[in-house]
Amino acid sequence: MKIIRTLPSMTAWSERLRREGVTIGFVPTMGALHDGHRSLIRAARLQCDALVVSIFVNPTQFSPTEDLAKYPRPIAKDRSLCRAEGVDVCFEPTAQAMYPEGFQTVVTVPAITKLWEGASRPHHFGGVAVVVTKLFGMVRPHVALFGQKDYQQAALVRQLVQDLNLGVKIQIRPTVREQDGLAMSSRNVYLNTDERMIAPWLSRALRAGKQAIEGGMKDGAAIERSMRKTIEQAPAIQVEYLALCDPDSLEPLTRFTRRAVILGAIRIGSIRLIDNLLVNVPGGKNRAR
């Protein structure tokens, strides 16, 4: 496995392979790799000739009060996971190279990022949009894989690629979970034993919402109440949002007659967790709030 740290060498490697007709797959990450990342890497490996994984803790998607400095960076472990999964290139650019003095471009995808994570973390999606655009420019992949775990991010990337004609096929892969339902996340290492015990209540609440919809409940407010009631059984959880939304626009829905996504974010102490579930309801059309 090759480790590439400079931007021009990354682009040169990709350009050479593209000229040879090689299909390049790409999995962008912030490292601290777990089985969720592994599932993206494996899916990419199966469908591409060459595979690039980037490991870059992108400073511009953290606000000054967030966890940039303490974000886990187990680089040796990450590299060995990549090696074991047959990754061809681990791309590890530096923040200095990515954002040299004078960098000024902003990339905004306003409607999709207005609500939910965008409302809670106003800096976040601007940083994501810029870094994804830059990484695509350097890695020049044919296909890039993202996790459903970060549903709003995946929606942003799809929109970005479509609007800016970036020419990359985007694939969204299902969320990988721990046995008790907790969505895997690099941030789960912050949870102490007690917090880890209650963390799966977020996925339980989402499942309660999904079951209510599949059981025929159509009233969005009632479904949200039933999810909140489920999560209230867990002590020490603060709900930021539990919302039934249109899966494409992410606008809130009051009635569910077709497809919906249930988005959730909670806080346990200082730790923030997000998760989501897609729900299919046969027949009819969605109506936005």
- Contacting residues toward ligand AMP, per CB under 6 A: 29-30, 36-37, 39-40, 146-147, 149-150, 173, 175-176, 183-186
Of 200, 212, 216, the residue nearest 262 (C-alpha)? 212
- Rounded CA gap, 250 and 113, in Å? 9
Q: What are the phi and psi torsion angles at 158 (to 5°)?
A: -60, -45
Q: How far is the CB of 121 from ligand AMP (least distance, A)?
A: 13
Q: How far is the CB of 33 from ligand AMP (least distance, A)?
A: 7
| Six-digit token string for 184 | 């895997």
Over the range 137-155, which residues count as b (16 or more CB within 10 Å of their CB) and which as e? ebbbbbbbbbbbbbbbbbb
Selecting among 34, 37, 123, 142, the annotated active-site residue is 37
Q: How many CB atoms lie within 10 A of CB 115?
A: 18
- Rounded CA gap, 68 and 240, in Å? 21
- Rounded CA gap, 249 and 120, in Å? 18
* Residues 6 or more apart in contact with residue 165 via CB below 8 angstroms: none
Q: How far is the CB of 271 from ligand AMP (least distance, A)?
A: 14
Tell me whether residue 37 is one of the annotated catalytic residues. yes
Q: How far is the CB of 149 from ligand AMP (least distance, A)?
A: 4
Q: How far is the CB of 218 from ligand AMP (least distance, A)?
A: 30
Please say which residue, 10 or 135, places its beta carbon nearer to ligand AMP.
Answer: 135
Q: How far is the CB of 16 from ligand AMP (least distance, A)?
A: 26
Contact (Cβ atoms closer than 8 angstroms) between residue 55 and residue 30: yes
Query: Exposure of 69 by Cβ count < 10 A (0-12 exposed, 13-18 middle, 19+ buried)?
Result: exposed
Please say which residue, 42 or 258, places its beta carbon nearer to ligand AMP.
Answer: 42
Please say which residue, 54 or 286, places its beta carbon nearer to ligand AMP.
Answer: 54
Please say which residue, 154 or 223, places its beta carbon nearer to ligand AMP.
Answer: 154
Please say which residue, 155 or 212, places its beta carbon nearer to ligand AMP.
Answer: 155
| Single-letter amino acid, residue 138 | M
Please say which residue, 42 or 218, places its beta carbon nearer to ligand AMP.
Answer: 42
| Single-letter amino acid, residue 240 | E
Of 184, 172, 150, the residue nearest 61 (C-alpha)? 150
Which residues are tagged catalytic? 37
